[in-house]
């Protein structure tokens, strides 16, 4: 990758070992010619592999002997144009320790300068307009370096050698503090960051321009401030993220494991979901009813200064209006956020690519991504086998990401969002063009979801009309393929794929989401079993109103009249009218497709035990999240269920599980116990399905994917039970298990299955 300080590192290493020669980038990577005695060359080679700078990824080192030329000294050669074009753009990187020291050193010329960066840190992807990556092709183009910065930039021994965004207080970007009408505040103190920190301590809500977009900040300990922010942002229950200054501050908010601390402090600085400490004093409104808090560490000098001055961690939530994309252009931000923020802390370095914060957690001591965006995108994902052609995969509808792929790498995009409005659709289209240019991908095949109404499918169809071969990939096939590609599994490997998910268009037109497959990346996947179909009354309305799923299950199981007589709070709350409404929808099959969705089954159970959010969800997947939160106490035995042979495969008799839940509710069992028992049941369902497939000659390796596996209780229990039965289990580790990961699976499957036919 470019801008990660590799050539200066080689230069320094060569000088240390008395090596003469040169280093340059060429088409295949970095090319080094080294002359010296055998011992020094050994040390030099070892140093390249072992001491490479933090951002450089050394995939392989190959060497061979050359005749000595009698070189004098060691030099960095300018790259040729071709090599520069091929070099990859790095993701944005959190401020390094060296830069941080300068920012807080009163004697340094960059003291309190919020845009300090070097070759080891700073903005990259978010400021890059085109390749080759050069100052002139970034949003830093309009800032001319002062002589001192220029000197650093040209000195191979300097930490800022070829640091494209290099800047200082004399020549670089500046911050300004504005009121919500865009007028600059001039009053004392005239340090806008210091002033902002004081306003935040005084209950203000401030929009802060960051690396990939605007944040909305407030004091997380001030219940009133947080409530105001929720009210203005029209966001009821979805948790806000916090930003802490450093690990010490994070430890006062949450319990952390060593793995979680590594993730928090990694150069990507994602929001990490951590177990919250009740005694931390964070307002309940920050994350209502959650036992976790999303925490990230400061990742730009501006954040470091602000948090230093404030002396407390801050709420830092995406600067948007409920479902709109994050604001990143200054004029738009004032318009979009003017009704939410009291003040705006802005700066004059434009953001070229809007990029949301990434979100991750640690599962079984390994990173488990939830949203892969800032700090990760557009890093290449290595795959086990090279792509046969250049591919564009359009992803899904919600949490959309797309993927371009060629040779041995896939480039999964930053988080685009839900493709439901004009703004996200525009960033989807522009993002694809940008990625194709950045990575020199000229798509020869476009992969898309089978859902006829996804806007991403529309986009693929447009390309198809203009002559590009297109391949539809079933949603859950893509999930399983994504998990396999994520784990760099070989294309020939036969696996059992389990996709537990919200919704995806099935090959039979039903809404799938509780699927058991057998197959491989090479040959594709065959459906062996699934959760029993139940009606999805009112289609997408049932997704927003989980009580509909509970009634659909009850009416299917007990019939309309008996359901009305069940002494269940869930039925009473829904009311007789709604029971009859659901019964009619089912009877006449009005906008009521069959579904095998695991997400909807979680919804139904959540509604049966009346956890919050089941009347109407305020964010996607809320009912399932609340159900997981409700779980309490040992599960004991799961609810009884059976696999029933049907057509060429089998179905999991979900109705029996529902009957068990209803009986537990009627017998007065606590909500916590029912939730635990249901989670246990779902883990047992996965194991039973896998054993059925393995029992008839199927493989013993299992890939787990789909949005429902964001549920940690379910994930951990499922893996534990599978491993007890000697299954080898793969889960996600580089891309999300939710729909944010499916573009990768689409790309790999399209390449294998469809590539063979052409
Ligand atoms: Zn630095
Ligand atoms: Zn300067």
**Three-state secondary structure of 439-486:** CCCCCCEEEEECCCCCHHHHHHHHHHHCCCCEEEECHHHHHHHHHHHH
Ligand number nearest CA of 170 is 2
Give the model's pLDDT for residue 27: 64
Quote the percentage of the chain above a pLDDT of 90.
Answer: 83
What is the 102 CA–ligand 1 centroid distance (Å)? 9
Ligand number nearest CA of 153 is 2
Reported as a single tens digit per residue, the pLDDT across 618-655 is 888 899 999 999 999 888 889 999 999 998 899 999 99
Ligand number nearest CA of 158 is 1
What is the 151 CA–ligand 2 centroid distance (Å)? 9
Ligand number nearest CA of 122 is 1
CA–CA dist 364, 585 (Å, integer):
43
What is the 358 CA–ligand 1 centroid distance (Å)? 21
What is the 153 CA–ligand 2 centroid distance (Å)? 10
> Under the phi-then-psi rule, with left for phi > 0, alpha for psi from -120 to 50, and beta for the rest, what region is 629?
alpha
- Identify the CA nearest to 476 among candidates 578, 378, 396: 396
Ligand number nearest CA of 304 is 1
CA–CA dist 360, 366 (Å, integer):
10
State the average pLDDT for the chain: 94
| DSSP H helical ranges for 76-219 | 81-86, 97-103, 147-154, 192-201
Non-local CB neighbours of 370 within 8 Å, separated by 6+ positions = 273, 359, 360, 361, 710, 736, 738, 740
Give the model's pLDDT for residue 551: 97
What is the 166 CA–ligand 1 centroid distance (Å)? 10
What is the 148 CA–ligand 1 centroid distance (Å)? 17
Ligand number nearest CA of 145 is 2
- What residues pair up with 21 in beta bridges, in sequence order? 34, 74
| 625 or 322, greater pLDDT | 625
CA–CA dist 105, 235 (Å, integer):
40
440-471 as b/e: b if 16+ CB within 10 A: ebebbbbbbbbbeebbbbebbbebeeeeebbb
What is the 46 CA–ligand 1 centroid distance (Å)? 25
SS (H, E, C) 635-673: CCCCCCCCEEEECCEEEECHHHHHHHHHHHHHCCCCHHH
Give the model's pLDDT for residue 85: 64
What is the 172 CA–ligand 2 centroid distance (Å)? 6
Ligand number nearest CA of 3 is 1
For residue 17 the two structure tokens come to 């070992």
CA–CA dist 548, 603 (Å, integer):
9
Instruction: State the number of CA atoms in the 13 A half-sphere of 545 facing the CB.
Output: 16
Give the model's pLDDT for residue 2: 66
Reported as a single tens digit per residue, the pLDDT across 282-314 is 999 999 999 999 999 999 999 999 999 999 999
Give the model's pLDDT for residue 452: 93
What is the 215 CA–ligand 2 centroid distance (Å)? 27
pLDDT at 3 over 70: no
Q: Which residue has the tokens 């009416």?
A: 555
Give the model's pLDDT for residue 156: 86
- Identify the CA nearest to 327 among candidates 245, 398, 417: 417
pLDDT at 29 over 80: no
Ligand number nearest CA of 119 is 1
What is the 299 CA–ligand 2 centroid distance (Å)? 21
Give the model's pLDDT for residue 183: 94
CA–CA dist 78, 69 (Å, integer):
20
CA–CA dist 514, 535 (Å, integer):
14
Give the model's pLDDT for residue 236: 82
Ligand number nearest CA of 118 is 1
Cα-trace Rg, the chain: 27
What is the 636 CA–ligand 1 centroid distance (Å)? 53
Determine contact, residues 121/127, Cβ cutoff 8 Å: no
Torsion angle defined by CA atoms of residues 86, 138, 1 and 354, in that order, rounded to the nearest 10 degrees: -110
Ligand number nearest CA of 147 is 2
The arithmetic mean of pLDDT across residues 609-614, rounded, is 91
pLDDT grade for 88, boundaries at 50, 70 and 90: confident
Q: How far apart are the first and last CA of the chain?
A: 33
pLDDT grade for 50, boundaries at 50, 70 and 90: confident
Determine contact, residues 353/344, Cβ cutoff 8 Å: no
What is the 601 CA–ligand 2 centroid distance (Å)? 59
| C-alpha separations of 360 from 139, 274, 628, 663 in Å | 29, 10, 18, 37
pLDDT grade for 328, boundaries at 50, 70 and 90: confident
Ligand number nearest CA of 166 is 2
Non-local CB neighbours of 422 within 8 Å, separated by 6+ positions = none
pLDDT at 86 over 80: no
What is the 30 CA–ligand 2 centroid distance (Å)? 29
What is the 64 CA–ligand 2 centroid distance (Å)? 42
| C-alpha separations of 553 from 3, 572, 657 in Å | 56, 15, 10
Reported as a single tens digit per residue, the pLDDT across 165-189 is 999 999 999 999 999 999 999 867 7
- Please tell me whether residue 611 adopts helix, strand or coil conformation: coil
What is the 341 CA–ligand 1 centroid distance (Å)? 31
pLDDT at 128 over 80: yes
What is the 314 CA–ligand 2 centroid distance (Å)? 30
The arithmetic mean of pLDDT across residues 508-530, rounded, is 97
What is the 609 CA–ligand 1 centroid distance (Å)? 52
Determine contact, residues 368/353, Cβ cutoff 8 Å: no
What is the 163 CA–ligand 2 centroid distance (Å)? 12
pLDDT at 753 over 90: no
Non-local CB neighbours of 738 within 8 Å, separated by 6+ positions = 370, 399, 706, 707, 710
Determine contact, residues 244/250, Cβ cutoff 8 Å: yes
What is the 431 CA–ligand 1 centroid distance (Å)? 28
Which DSSP category does 222 fall into?
A: -
Ligand number nearest CA of 109 is 2
What is the 266 CA–ligand 1 centroid distance (Å)? 14
Ligand number nearest CA of 163 is 1
Which DSSP category does 709 fall into?
A: G
Determine contact, residues 456/419, Cβ cutoff 8 Å: yes
Pairing of strands 534-535, 343-347: unpaired
pLDDT at 562 over 70: yes
What is the 174 CA–ligand 2 centroid distance (Å)? 12
What is the 147 CA–ligand 2 centroid distance (Å)? 7
| CA diameter of the chain | 95
Reported as a single tens digit per residue, the pLDDT across 245-283 is 999 999 999 999 999 999 999 999 999 999 999 999 999
The arithmetic mean of pLDDT across residues 58-69, rounded, is 84
CA–CA dist 507, 258 (Å, integer):
44
Non-local CB neighbours of 582 within 8 Å, separated by 6+ positions = 537, 548, 551, 552, 555
pLDDT at 576 over 90: yes
Ligand number nearest CA of 299 is 1
What is the 101 CA–ligand 1 centroid distance (Å)? 9
Ligand number nearest CA of 159 is 1
What is the 145 CA–ligand 1 centroid distance (Å)? 17
CA–CA dist 298, 317 (Å, integer):
13
What is the 109 CA–ligand 2 centroid distance (Å)? 9
Ligand number nearest CA of 103 is 1
CA–CA dist 1, 6 (Å, integer):
9
Ligand number nearest CA of 101 is 1
- Identify the CA nearest to 616 among candidates 540, 561, 503, 675: 540
For residue 177 the two structure tokens come to 């503090």
The arithmetic mean of pLDDT across residues 362-390, rounded, is 95
pLDDT at 381 over 60: yes
Pairing of strands 366-371, 359-363: antiparallel
Determine contact, residues 517/689, Cβ cutoff 8 Å: no
Lowest mean pLDDT among 85-99, 439-453, 536-550: 85-99
Ligand number nearest CA of 149 is 2
What is the 4 CA–ligand 2 centroid distance (Å)? 20
Give the model's pLDDT for residue 711: 97
pLDDT at 83 over 70: no
- Please tell me whether residue 163 adopts helix, strand or coil conformation: coil
Ligand 1 is an ion; its neighbours by CB within 5 Å are 96, 99, 118, 120-121
What is the 168 CA–ligand 2 centroid distance (Å)? 4
- What residues pair up with 495 in beta bridges, in sequence order? 519
What is the 147 CA–ligand 1 centroid distance (Å)? 19
**Helix (H) and strand (E) counts in the chain:** 26, 29
Determine contact, residues 203/225, Cβ cutoff 8 Å: yes
pLDDT at 153 over 90: yes
What is the 152 CA–ligand 2 centroid distance (Å)? 9
Angle among Cα 262, 268, 274 to the nearest 5 degrees reads 50
Pairing of strands 445-449, 470-473: parallel
């Amino acid at each position: 990758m470019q801008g990660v300080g590799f050539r200066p590192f080689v230069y320094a290493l060569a000088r240390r070992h008395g090596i003469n020669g040169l280093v340059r980038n060429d088409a295949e990577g970095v090319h080094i010619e080294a002359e010296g005695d055998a011992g020094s060359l050994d040390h030099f080679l070892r140093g390249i592999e072992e001491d490479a700078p933090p951002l450089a990824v050394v995939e392989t080192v190959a060497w061979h002997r050359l005749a000595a030329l009698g070189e004098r000294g060691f030099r960095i050669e300018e790259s040729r144009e071709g090599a520069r074009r091929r070099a990859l753009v790095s993701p944005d990187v959190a401020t390094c320790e060296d830069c941080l020291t300068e920012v807080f050193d009163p004697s340094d010329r960059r003291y309190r300068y919020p845009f300090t960066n070097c070759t080891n840190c700073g903005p990259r992807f978010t400021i890059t307009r085109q390749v080759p990556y050069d100052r002139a092709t970034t949003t830093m183009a309009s800032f001319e370096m002062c002589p001192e910065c220029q000197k650093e930039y040209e000195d191979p021994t300097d930490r800022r050698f070829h640091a494209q965004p290099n800047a200082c207080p004399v020549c670089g970007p500046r911050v300004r503090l504005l009121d919500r009408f865009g007028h600059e505040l001039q009053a004392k103190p005239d340090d806008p960051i210091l002033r902002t920190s004081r306003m935040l301590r005084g209950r203000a809500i401030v929009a802060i321009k960051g690396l990939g977009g605007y944040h909305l900040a407030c004091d997380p300990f001030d219940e009133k401030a947080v409530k105001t922010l929720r009210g203005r942002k029209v966001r009821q229950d979805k948790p806000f993220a916090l930003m802490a200054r450093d690990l010490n501050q994070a430890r006062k908010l949450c319990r952390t494991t060593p793995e979680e601390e590594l993730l928090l402090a990694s150069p990507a600085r994602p929001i990490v979901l951590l177990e919250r400490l009740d005694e931390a004093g964070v307002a309940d409104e920050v994350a209502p009813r959650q036992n976790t808090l999303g925490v990230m560490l400061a990742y730009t000098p501006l954040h470091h200064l602000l948090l230093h001055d404030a002396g407390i961690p801050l709420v830092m939530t995406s600067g948007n209006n409920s479902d709109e994309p994050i604001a990143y252009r200054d004029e738009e931000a004032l318009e979009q956020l003017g009704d939410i923020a009291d003040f705006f802390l802005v700066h004059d370095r434009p953001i070229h690519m809007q990029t949301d914060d990434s979100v991750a957690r640690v599962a079984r001591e390994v990173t488990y991504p939830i949203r892969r965006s800032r700090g990760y995108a557009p890093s290449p994902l290595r795959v086990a086998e090279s792509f046969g052609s250049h591919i564009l995969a359009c992803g899904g509808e919600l949490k959309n990401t797309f993927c371009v792929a060629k040779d041995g790498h896939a480039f999964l995009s930053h988080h685009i969002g839900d493709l439901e409005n004009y703004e996200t659709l525009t960033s989807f289209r522009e993002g694809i063009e940008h990625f194709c240019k950045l990575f020199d991908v000229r798509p020869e095949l476009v992969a898309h979801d089978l859902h006829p109404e996804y806007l991403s499918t529309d986009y693929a169809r447009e390309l198809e009309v203009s002559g590009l071969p297109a391949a539809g990939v079933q949603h859950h096939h893509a999930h399983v393929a994504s998990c396999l590609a994520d784990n760099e599994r070989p294309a020939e490997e036969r696996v059992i794929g389990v996709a537990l998910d919200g919704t995806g268009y099935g090959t039979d037109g039903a809404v799938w989401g509780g699927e058991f497959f057998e197959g491989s990346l090479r040959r594709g996947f065959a459906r062996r079993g699934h959760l029993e179909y139940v009606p999805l009354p009112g289609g997408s309305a049932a997704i927003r109103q989980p009580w509909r799923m509970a009634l659909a299950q009850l009416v299917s199981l007990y019939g309309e009249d008996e359901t009305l007589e069940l002494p269940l709070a869930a039925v009473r709350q829904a009311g007789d009218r709604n029971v009859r409404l659901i019964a009619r929808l089912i009877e006449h099959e009005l906008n009521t497709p069959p579904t095998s969705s695991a997400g909807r089954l979680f919804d139904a159970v959540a509604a049966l035990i009346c956890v919050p959010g089941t009347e109407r969800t305020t964010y996607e997947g809320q009912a399932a999240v609340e159900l997981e939160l409700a779980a309490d106490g040992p599960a004991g035995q799961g609810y009884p269920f059976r696999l029933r042979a049907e057509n060429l495969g089998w179905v999991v008799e979900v109705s029996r599980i529902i009957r068990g839940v209803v009986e537990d509710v009627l017998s007065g069992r606590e909500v916590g116990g029912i939730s635990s028992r249901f989670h246990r049941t779902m883990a047992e369902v996965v194991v039973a399905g896998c054993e059925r497939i393995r029992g008839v000659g199927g493989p013993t390796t299992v890939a787990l994917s789909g949005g429902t596996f964001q549920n940690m209780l379910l994930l951990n229990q499922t893996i534990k039970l599978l491993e007890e039965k000697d299954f080898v289990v793969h889960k996600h580790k580089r891309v999300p298990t939710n729909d944010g990961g499916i573009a990768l699976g689409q790309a790999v499957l399209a390449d294998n299955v469809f590539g063979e036919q052409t």
